[in-house]
Every structure is written in C-alpha cells, then in structure tokens.
Structure 1
Amino acid sequence: MSATHIDVRTASAIAPCGAEEHEDCGLRLLLERLGERWTVMTLAELSNGPKRYREIEKALVGISQRMMTLTLRRLERDGYVLRHIDPTIPPSVTYELSALGRSFSSQVALLVTWSKEHKAELELARSTFDKKHRQP
C-alpha cells in the first residue's frame, strides 16, 4: 500500500493533525483548498489535459472571471497547477495539472465516486433528521 492511501481499517487510529502533541500533517492546507467552491471542478476540468483560460472558464458555468483567476492562482500557489505563457501576440496562457495536482485530483475523484455511491443515503439521512427536528 502506498503512503497516499489510507487503510480504512486503521483510519480511526490516525492521530489528530495540528493538535499540540501531534505534528501538523498538512490536513488544514488541503482542506483550505478543497473547501473552496470551484477547486474540485477546476481540477476535474484540468484532469483531461492542459487547457487555455477561456476553455476552463467556458466549462465552469457560473464562475466569474475574478473567481476563475483567484482559483487558478491559488491552485498554482499550492503547486497543483502549472501556468505556461507562450510568447505569442497576444500571449497564450495554458494551465495544466502538476504531478502534485494529478495526485490530488485522483484522490478527489475517489471522493466524487464515494459521494455518487452514497448520495441517496445522505439525502435520506438529512430528510429523516429534518422531519424529526422540524419546528412546530
């Protein structure tokens, strides 16, 4: 088993990251990026290969130009995305996943698969909870 995979049988034995008595494992850095609205969709779009800015923007329906720029910059800053500028007139900018980004993207794909498989269960649990705790 590689270091990037967690054995679910021992997952409960993992020490809490960032607690005083434990070394910071970087989970907060990961969740900071993963928790942003457009991160997963941008990673998914780039997982099919390099794309120009406008191609990504068109694929992410509803994203503003400002948010697209911020998302790409944050992903680039964290090392998930590489930005290439071709010296053409006007300059052509292409984005692609780095090795780290491909690795992260593959882990995110596991979450997406899990969420698809358990969507009905999650919706039923919410509905049951909401009915049980409905205010009169």
Structure 2
Amino acid sequence: MLRRKIQSPSPALPGLGLAPQLLDALLLAARRFYAAPTPCQLLTQICLALAELALHAEGGVDSLFSRMPHLPPPAMLELLTVLPEEVAQDQGGDTGVDAAARCRFTRELLTHAPAMLEFLHGQSEKAPTDDDGVPLRGWAP
C-alpha cells in the first residue's frame, strides 16, 4: 500500500521536501524490522517502497545511497535486490514515471554499481562455505 501511495502522481511529495523525511522513516523501519520474527515480507515491502521513492524523487538514488551505510547487511541485500527490479518493472508505464525519470534512475543506479559490487564481495567473503567453497544457505551475519 505504501508503495502505491508513492507511485501515485503527487507533485506535493518532492515539492514540499517530504521525500528525505519519508526516506529516513523507511530506512529506520528497515533497520528495526530486518530482525523481526518474519522479516522477509515486511522488509521486502519496506525496500520496495524505498526503491519506488528513489525512482520518483529527483536524486533519489543518490540520497538513498548516502544513507545506506547505516543499514544492517540483510536489509542492504534486500534493497540491492529490489532496486534493479524497479528499472524493469516500470517499463509498463503505469506508475506515472516518464522515460526521462526512468533513464535518470537507471543512470544514478549505475553510478553506484561499484559500491554495490564491493558490498556484495565483502558479504560473500564473510559467508560460511562448505568443503567445496559453495556458500551455505540460510546464512545470517
């Protein structure tokens, strides 16, 4: 539901400067709920809302990445999973995002690819492996 509210064409959100406040509130929720008894669905929904906000707000990806270092690794992994999906899912054109905004989002996302890869590489080095060097499933930091 939160994602749909962000998707609805409302120029008031970025225009009133509420996007940074909403971004901070969603990041706080991700930090709080990543370790909940059933965090997957809730964390995924929070991350989808973060990705949607980054898509709709000018400089949204840059703003998101400047605040991401404070997220726990499981929340960052979930966010890094859903961010690229926003590029593909928005191709339908039913989210009120024009082609220029979609291109801007994609460019901003690509500028952060080295940081994403560095984070993922660091996480892969921390993950326990079996005797063949294959990461074990169900790993939690």
TM over 0.5: no
- Name the TM tier (shorter chain): under 0.3
Q: TM-score, normalised by structure 1?
A: 0.28
Relative contact order, higher structure (CA 8 A, sep 6+)? 2
Bigger Rg, structure 1 or 2 = 1
| TM-score, reference length from structure 2 | 0.27
